[in-house]
């Protein structure tokens, strides 16, 4: 009876810890207070900037900040229209271009964005850069960092529960089941969730960049160029990211919806 009561309470707490992802409407688990996430993000971002060299290319840096600012404004406008502005409480946006050959970019919770100079040739122009920034900012807006940490916490709780349930079994049996649980959690749960988040960030980011006046039809072209730089990718089911072709197909299917955002953009047709 006590176990049943505890289970009911646990399920109730999980339901209370769910929130809705903007644009897609997916329900997600959120166990980590946003104030803690933003504080950690600010500290780590500051440390990163101290340990890495900002680009001295004034033109490229200005482009990154301009594109970032436009997407930021489109995010804030959309969230206000959806009565979700409270999700941006505590955001202190920053956009920086860092000198590195890595073909990469990221955004921490709170709108802390870094673009590596190595990805600029793949971006080719502002539309391509907007695809990258929209995608990375979407991770922050969708709370994917919080969700991944929450999933990890839940996975650890499940593992502890399994250990208790198997406490009377032979040691070899316990070891075998715990190993299977670990593999099953990583490949069967965490990696697919990561791929889901990547696809979701593609969708949300495409809408935000389109709303900022950047042509969404350039997104599949950008990922085709990215695919050409990463021909040794692992099989999709063992990867945290969708395969390039899966991603390109998904983006192509989203173009009609993204064009609606693009056509409503106050930036559309503005000189850059």
What confidence category does residue 263 fall into, taking pLDDT thresholds of 50, 70 and 90?
A: very high
Per the structure, the count of domains in the chain is 1
Mean local confidence (pLDDT), 207-227: 95
- Please report whether residue 121 resides in a domain: yes
**Domain extent at residue 208:** 33-148+189-263
Higher pLDDT, 214 or 109: 214
Whether 18 is covered by a domain: the verdict is no
Does 190 score more than 80 pLDDT?
no
Active-site residue set: 136
Give the whole-number percent of the chain exceeding pLDDT 90: 44
228 or 147, higher pLDDT: 228
Here the tokens at position 193 are 């969730």
pLDDT of residue 76: 96
pLDDT in tens, 76-118: 999 999 998 988 999 999 999 999 998 889 888 899 999 999 9
Position 151 scores a pLDDT of: 58
The b/e string for 232-248 (b: 16+ C-beta within 10 A; e otherwise) is: eeeebeeeebbbbeebb
């Amino acid at each position: 009876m006590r176990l049943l009561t505890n289970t009911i309470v646990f399920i109730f707490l999980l339901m209370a810890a769910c929130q809705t992802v903007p644009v897609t409407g997916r329900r997600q688990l959120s166990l980590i207070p946003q104030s803690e996430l933003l504080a950690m993000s600010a500290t780590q971002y500051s440390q990163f900037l101290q340990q890495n060299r900002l680009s001295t290319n004034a033109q490229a840096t200005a482009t990154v900040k301009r594109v970032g600012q436009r997407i930021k404004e489109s995010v804030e406008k959309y969230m206000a229209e959806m009565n979700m502005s409270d999700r941006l409480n505590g955001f202190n946006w920053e956009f920086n271009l860092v000198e590195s050959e890595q073909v990469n970019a990221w955004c921490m919770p709170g709108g802390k964005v870094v673009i590596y100079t190595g990805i600029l040739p793949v971006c080719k122009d502002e539309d391509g850069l907007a695809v990258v920034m929209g995608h990375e900012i979407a991770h922050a807006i969708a709370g994917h960092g919080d969700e991944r940490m929450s999933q990890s916490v839940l996975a650890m709780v499940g593992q502890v529960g399994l250990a208790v349930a198997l406490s009377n079994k032979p040691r070899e049996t316990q070891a075998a089941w715990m190993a299977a649980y670990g593999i099953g959690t990583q490949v069967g749960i965490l990696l697919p969730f990561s791929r889901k988040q990547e696809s979701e960030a593609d969708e949300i980011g495409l809408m935000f960049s389109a709303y900022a006046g950047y042509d969404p039809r350039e997104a599949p072209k950008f990922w085709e160029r990215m695919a050409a730089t990463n021909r040794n990718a692992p099989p999709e089911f063992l990867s945290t990211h969708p395969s390039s072709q899966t991603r390109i197909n998904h983006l192509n299917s989203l173009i009609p919806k993204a064009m609606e955002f693009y056509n409503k953009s106050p930036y559309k047709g503005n000189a850059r």
